[in-house]
Amino acid sequence: MAGKVWLVGAGPGDPELLTLKGRRVLGDADVVVYDRLIGDGVLCHAKLAAELIDVGKKGGCHPVPQEDIEKILAMKAREGKKVVRLKGGDPFLFGRGGEEMATLTEQGIACEVVPGVTSAIAVPAYAGIPVTLRGCSSSLHVLTAHRREDVQTEAGIDYEVLARLEGTLVFLMGASKLKEICNRLTAAGMDGDMPIAVIENGTTARQKQVFGTLDNLPQRAETENIQAPAVIVVGRAVTQGLRKPSLLPLAGKRVLIPRVTRKDGDKSGRLAAILRSRGVEAVEVPVSRAEAITTPLPPLGGYEWLVFTSSAGVEAFFARLGAERRDILEIGGAKIAAVGPVTGEALEVRGLRVELMPTTYNGAALGEALSAVARDRLLLLRAENGAPDLPKVLRAKGLSFDEVSVYRTVPIPCHVNAEDFDAVAFTCASSVRNFTRSRPNTDVKAVCIGERTAQTAREAGYAAYTANSAALEALADAVERCLSSPPCCHASFPKIEVHSL
């Protein structure tokens, strides 16, 4: 089968700015060839079996030359693979996507472009700067501050033309050229009090922004130690758009969420959504996958209770039923018990009414709750080598039960650097164990959904914080308490700027 290459724009940094089509194509790819600025939150949408190839460039250092990148794309496509060339921003805006498409097309290799959200517009927007504004700026001009590597003459930017424009100027890749840009614009006749902003790591939790004028911004940026990647915005709209930092309680914080992946494409969870609504840059990373156990299920009749301890167990159970062409009606009058609301929701969307759920969402509490109402046989449907608390309590209470393993968790290596995050949120003890296998001896601030998870984190040497209850909203509350120091949005808003521009 013939392979194909997709040139995909990953957006400016915030993983939620990856387009729906980009996410779908990335999730289908066999090979992902990605740039340096692609964050973990975007890469985690690649399927687990995908080959990831880092061809990133940094500040004139090109470990993989452009011609070699094009050779990699062509070679992988000729192997019949689906190849994604993942680029920051948009692939056709200073991303060399046009060159790559031309080379692939000349070689008869199918190639498709998936546009991305460009940093030229998104980064100023996240800083509150509208690049066009009625009565202030009616045009936008996007420039690169760097010339081609093979051209040694002066960059072909006509600063005298730029100085006469009434619109907004956006310079990409310009952190090291900031002073030169300001000097050449003023030398070409632009007013020294023209508003200008420089924004580092735009749209991410590490966003850092400094406002000023052509005359004073270089010194202010040096004081704030502005580094690449950075976007420079010049024009009257910079003043008009000046705003305060986000008031969301966790703005500027980064939280890593190790999780179980049940299937490719299952990469987004409720906890991440809750944290993002509070201003967090939440990055989910798979540390294990749920693998169905294919041993036939036993007869389901004759049980008083069917007991589920995870949503993964619910999914695996119903998948087994379907594979064996069996019907849930086999359970007869059996009642349903669930360890917590996430498991309960997974059951109820499949038409099963949950009649028992403990007030504390763990195995021991579920065993205690069952012992108060159960009189006959129970069937536990859960993970292979699951936590011993539930069966231990049931045995102590003298209850008769059968246990069936419907899935097992298989560890996945985690290559994300936990030191880049303010905290790691764990939703189960197995996630702690699987994360620790890949990231031992890591200084981690672990926020845990329950005491068993917290104890596992402490045994791993982590500083552990425990949610008040085993619910995702409570876990998000615990993250907020853990990171309750003032938001580290790194925004720089000197009072003088608002009045003097």
Extract the tokens encoding 350.
Answer: 């499949």
- Rounded to whole angstroms, the Cα distance separating 207 from 209 reads 7
List, edge to edge, every strand of the sheet that includes 31-34. Answer: 51-54, 31-34, 82-87, 4-9, 110-114
Q: How far is CA 218 from CA 153, 181, 198, in A?
A: 24, 10, 9
Q: DSSP secondary structure string, 51-74?
A: EEEE---BTTB-SS-HHHHHHHHH
1 is catalytic: no
Cβ count within 10 A of residue 298: 10
392 is catalytic: no
Extract the tokens encoding 438.
Answer: 């890949």
Give the closest residue to 261 by CA, choosing from 404, 414, 380, 403: 414
Q: Per DSSP, what are the bridge partners of residue 22?
A: none
| From 21, 47, 57, 177, the catalytic residue | 57
**Which residues have C-beta within 8 Å of that of residue 317, sequence separation ≥ 6?**
297, 308, 381, 406
Question: Tokens 């049980």 — which residue?
Answer: 303
**Which residues have C-beta within 8 Å of that of residue 496, sequence separation ≥ 6?**
none
| 125 in Cβ contact with 202 (< 8 Å) | no
| From 30, 35, 40, 90, the catalytic residue | 35
Three-state secondary structure readout of 131-145: CCECCCECCEEEEEC
**Which residues have C-beta within 8 Å of that of residue 155, sequence separation ≥ 6?**
145, 146, 147
Three-state secondary structure readout of 411-441: ECCCCCCHHHCCEEEECCHHHHHHHHHHCCC
35 is catalytic: yes
| From 4, 76, 90, 173, the catalytic residue | 173
Please give the positions annotated as active site: 35, 57, 173
